[in-house]
Structures are given as C-alpha cells and as structure tokens.
Structure 1
Amino acid sequence: MNPYQSLPARSFWRSAVAEPDPLAIDDLWTPAFEIGQDEPVLTAGSCFAAHIGRALLERGMNWYDAEPAPPGLTEEERRARHYGVFSFRTGNIYTAAMLRQWLSWAFGRTTQPTEAWLEDCRYHDPCRPSVEPGGHASAEEMLAARAQTLAAIREAVTEAGCLVFTLGLTEAWRDRADGTVLPSCPGTVRGTFDPDRHVFHQFTFEEVRRDLTEAVALAREANPRLRVLLTVSPHPLTATATGGHALTANTYSKSLLRTVAGQLSQELDDVDYFPSYELITGLPFRSRFYAPNLREVTPEGVDFVMRHFMAGLSRPAAGPRPAADPRPVRTGAPAAEPKGVDTCDDAVLDYYRPR
C-alpha cells in the first residue's frame, strides 16, 4: 500500500486534465467556507475583479456596491468614472501593498498623501488617476471625493461577509517622497514622471505575503467575521519595467502571486483561494479564452470561470480529509513504461489512478 492508491481521479494528471474534454474538467475548487446567496460580497483588485463583480450580480448573489453612481449618469459615464466596477471607487488595486495602503488610510492607521496633479486646469488624484477622467475643480474637491471612497471602504468592509481580492502584479511605482505606492507610473495615465522621485519596485514573495497578511488583519479588526477569497488575475502584464522579456516577467509575477495566495490560504483561517488563473491559463484550454491580443479574457472565458465558481459554492465547504477510496486498489509493482513514452520517475504514479 502507498498513499497514491487511495487518491481520487481528480488528483491524477491523466484522468483529471489530459483525458477529459477541457470544458468538462471540474471539481477544481471545494470552498473552505460557505458564501450565502444573500451575503454581501466585496470585489476589489486588478482588472479581472471587475468581471467577477458583474458575474456575481447577474447570478443573483449580493454583490456589495458601496459607492453607487449618482442619478442621471449614462451607463457609459458610470463606467468611465468607475462606478459599478469594483465595490468602491479605488480604481484597479494591482498589488497587495496597494490594498494594505487603502485599508490603512480608510481606518486611520496611516496618513494619506494630499498632493494633486494639475493638468489643463483640472486636478487629478495620483492614487486613482483614471477614476475621474475629467478631473476636479480643486485639490480640495479631489480630496473630498477620495474621502467618500475611504468612507465607502469602511462601510463595506465592516458590513460584508466576504472579500474577493484579485492579485494582479508584483511590479509597481513608488513615490520616494512619502513611500506611496502608485497604481501606475506617473507620465502614463496622468502626471509627470520624475526619475529622482518616482522609483520602480519589484515586490518579493516576502513583501507580498507581508502586505497581504497585514491587509487581512486590518480588515478583520473592523470586521472579525470577514472571510477572504483570493484569486490571481489571468490577464498578463501589458509591459514590464524590468527591461526583461514580457513573457518571463509575467511568469515570475503570476507564479509569485499564486504562491502567496496558496500560502495564505493554508496559514490563515477563513482565507481561501479560487483558481480563476488556472481556469484561463491552464494547458488543456490552449489559450481558447483569450482575445487575439492574448491578454484580454473573452466573455466565454469569464462565463467559464464563473460556472466553476457557482458550482463550487453548491458543494459543501471543505471538512476533514475524506476517507480512503473504497474501490479496489492496485497492488504490486507497476509495469515499466515503454521506452520513449515518459522517462520521469514520477510517471509511475499514473499506475495508481482509479480505473
């Protein structure tokens, strides 16, 4: 006997990944906790998080919009001003450091910056430069608008049952003057780049783990009942500031974020990981869910991810490890693989998959 003889079919590559029709692959996620149909759910993070919020709402779940649009705006105007995109109008929160930063400002743990970027007689927020495309009439008006978002964060975190946070990047730009982590490089979306002031930073595993752990702790100080569901965005980075190749830079970033998410889901109570990243980028799907630019996820891909999400919620939350599979198991030594088929030592484990 050995441990592999009692594992289910989903634990073996051939039966779980290689042989099924890709669209029939299932059972990737058993939630660590239940999310009720009426339970307020927050979404925040990188671009893919915007898809999750809309999909939850379309499926009748209680997506929490803590900062709804004022009346009189068209749908296009609401989207342009980031109403209804995430649970609050922070814009994209690409890094764990930015999540910690927003929460620390919202709950008064650190002092927020007060600088405004002036362009064409309008004032823009360096911490969310794309949220108000038309800018503000004054720096005071800009800070008042940010204060509304900070109040929305406090309300939402205090009232919600679950926060779904999508990790996007490990690359960021910092303001050397006060340490603020910026959502984009100054001089791209807005602002003016100052090489003496604006510095590139590549977050390490330990930094991402620390920032995300502190963010969860900050949120739970305000709401001890809050559960956290982590995901990793399947959108590749658009460009890397490292000067390296975009393909290897993306692999580094996504693998690091996926590792941190998995680590915290094991270390922290009521923190779970949902595999939206694997459902889009996995080998059996052969990039079928990407637009021609190989970056944007198609509506079909979003729907595929959300079908798995809803299917997972319909299962009981994970409990103790199930008992050994009662089916007969193979004993004895496996036959050798034919030469040229697979010479990896671990290929022998396929012998023990359920038949």
Structure 2
Amino acid sequence: MEKISPYQGLEPRAFWRTGYQEGDYPPADLYRPKWALSKTDRIVTAGSCFAQHVGRALRKNGFTVLDAEPAPEGLAPERHGENGYGMYSARYGNIYTTRQLRQLMEEAWDGPRDFDAIWTKGGRFHDAMRPNVDPQGLDSAEAVKAARVKHLAAVKEVFSQADVFIFTLGLTEAWMHKPSGQVYAIAPGTVAGVYDPSVHGFVNFRAAEVRADLVAALARLKETNPKLRVLLTVSPVPLTATASGGHILAATTWSKSVLRAVAGELYEDFPEVDYFPSYEIVTSTRAGISFFEPNFRQVTEAGVARVMQVFTAAHLGAAAPETETEEKTRKRSEEERQARKAERQKAKKG
C-alpha cells in the first residue's frame, strides 16, 4: 500500500488516542532508555528537592547510589536529613539551578571561590552555597571554610567514581552575588545572612544560559570521567515563590518549560545524555491532582512510587517490582491524603 502521509504506519505511541488517551497510565512504553542501567552501575544523584525521592527509590530498588559523605556515627537517623546527610551522593543539599551545578563542578576541581559565601545568624556561621546542611550553623568562618574544602574534595571524588549521573533540574530563578556573578542556593536572609539590594540581585536564567551552564558542567565532569552517562529529569514540584513579578503559576510554567526544553535538546545532541519523563508523569492531565499533596506542590509517596515503577520497569524488565494499576495508585494517594487530614484535625483538637 502506497504511503500517502508521513504519519502513516507510525507506532501507536506516536498518537494521542492510542499512546495516551487509551490504556493504562502511565503508558507502558512512555520511557525507552537510550542506554542500559544496571544495579551494579555506580550512580551519583543531585538536583532539586524531587531528586531526593529519586535517590531513595533507587536505593530501595537495589541500585548502587554512592554516598561520599555519610552521616557520622552517633547522629540520630531522624536528624540525618536536616543536616544534609543521605539526601544525595554528597552533602551539597538541593541544587536548584544549572548555574549552581556548574559552580559546584568548578569549585570541586579548581577550589572554592573567595566571595560573600559565608552568612551569619545569631552569632553562628553558615555556608551560603549550602545553608541548609548545618541548620545550627558553625562556630566560625574558618570552620565553614574548612568544612567546604572537605566537602568539595568529597564531591570531586564521588563524581570521578560514577558511572551514571542523575540530575533533576528544578528552577531557573536564583539570587546572585553581583560583584562576582556567583549564585546562592537560596535567597540571602531566608536561612541566614541579610538581603542587601546593592549586593544581591535576582536572576531568571534564559534557555540559552541554562543550556550553556549544563553543557559546561557536564564537560568538566567528562574531562575526568569520559565514560560518564547522564540521566536528566525535570522536577514536577512548582516554585514556592517567584521574584519575577509575574504570577506564581505563570512563573512556574515558564521555569519548567525552559528546563524541559534544554533537557530535550541535550537528549537530542549528546548520545550519553538520556531523559526520563518524571515531570510529564506527575503533571499530565490524566494524573490530575492525584499525585500531589493538598497544597498542590509536594508529590505524594504514591506518586513517587508510580514514577519510579516506570523507571525500574524500563531498566529492570521482568526483575522490576510489580506495577500498580492506575486505580490502585489513585486509591492509595487518596488514603494518604485522608490520613494526613485526620492527623491535622487531631493536632488542632489537641
């Protein structure tokens, strides 16, 4: 039969009705890995807050996720997260922007920058590049500098050992130290420090800047680790706030669109870069709000599990954990939501 349309004969996944509207959700063949990932591959994780879920789920499913800065003995397990332990493959906290990632790679290989990177609060000292990893702060600026040197050595070591780097892109908005052009992890004054408009400036990175930063960061890594493979994801978690002047919904859409576009470009341009559609799975119209907590920001445990089931099924095949049905996932999300609602009501009564 003569082909009269370029869409004639394409796979069912290429069409909205057969690829998305009909059948189970998420679609079984939504994600086709560019390269294989085994449980023996040494994985490094980093990125925005959603990346924490990815790392935990990988460990739970038996993958080898490296940790260059484990919690010290004697620290209670419930305090690990608040002190930056066990979140990622090193104690760098959330890396929200590609500029942060690029800075981290440059510092790890070339040494820490000498700029306004130490904030104070209540007589305590905080690393402005990772202010949340020591919530109580340290005794002195010298202690912060020493801790950062040690941290950067761990970063360089763990990335040099990795087979796979999984990075979750989170935001395009950031706060910058104007004299040096370096960006902070969060806005000054949020955890520590004091906001000074003459020193601190807001920036919303454009697509070309995001791409340039990500390409530069990956190029630095591959100089030391030529066989490194990279898996990009985009966080489905909306912005908490925006300083862009726009509405938070529009600002979130802008930010995520830029990140998704750049991830798509790198997937097309670099054979070692793959993309996993966690953002699409959580935020699609079929998912609705079922994967989100009542605040429409945090992703539920059921939602994270659903995302990781798609990932593990693609990489482990028959060895992957059994996948929940769409109906069961929605039911579990609702049960989790009702349980949290009951806890809040009980707390109010108490």
Is TM-score (shorter-chain normalized) higher than 0.5?
A: yes
Q: Which runs of 4+ in 1 moved over 3 A?
A: 109-115
Distance in 2, matches of 1:260 and 1:208, equals: 7
Q: What is the CA distance between 1:149 and its match in structure 2? A: 1.5
Report whether the alignment pairs 1:268 with 2:238: no
Query: CA 1:199 to 1:143, structure 2 compared with 1: closer, same or farther past 3 Å?
Result: same
Distance in 2, matches of 1:29 and 1:299, equals: 21
Aligned to 2:13: 10
Cα contact 1:40–1:62 (8 A) shared by 2: yes
Q: How does 1:126-165 map to 2 (within 5 A)?
A: 126-165=128-167
Q: How does 1:202-351 map to 2 (within 5 A)?
A: 202-314=204-316
The one of the two structures with greater contact order (alpha-carbon pairs below 8 A, sep at least 6) is 1
State the one-letter code of the partner of 2:213.
D
Q: What is the CA distance between 1:112 and its match in structure 2? A: 4.9
Distance in 2, matches of 1:255 and 1:114, equals: 31
Which of 56, 71, 74 aligns to 1:72? It is 74
Report whether the alignment pairs 1:22 with 2:7: no
Q: How does 1:48-87 map to 2 (within 5 A)?
A: 48-87=50-89
Q: What is the CA distance between 1:315 and its match in structure 2? A: 5.7
Cα contact 2:120–2:192 (8 A) shared by 1: no
Give the secondary-structure state (helix, strand or coil) at the position aligned to 2:80: helix
Q: What is the CA distance between 1:35 and its match in structure 2? A: 1.4
Which consecutive residues of structure 1, in runs of 5 or more, have no partner in the other structure? 317-355
Cα contact 1:114–1:143 (8 A) shared by 2: no
State the one-letter code of the partner of 2:145.
L
Percent identity over the alignment? 48
Q: What is the CA distance between 1:22 and its match in structure 2? A: 2.6
Distance in 2, matches of 1:115 and 1:261, equals: 29
Give the secondary-structure state (helix, strand or coil) at the position aligned to 1:272: strand
State the one-letter code of the partner of 1:4.
Y
Q: What is the CA distance between 1:274 and its match in structure 2? A: 0.5
Distance in 2, matches of 1:115 and 1:274, equals: 34
Cα contact 1:30–1:315 (8 A) shared by 2: no
State the one-letter code of the partner of 1:29.
Y
| TM-score normalised by the chain length of structure 2 | 0.87
Question: Between Structure 1 and Structure 2, how many residues are aligned?
Answer: 315
Q: Which has the larger radius of gyration?
A: 1
| TM-score normalised by the chain length of structure 1 | 0.86
Q: How does 1:32-111 map to 2 (within 5 A)?
A: 32-108=34-110, 111=113
Aligned to 1:344: none
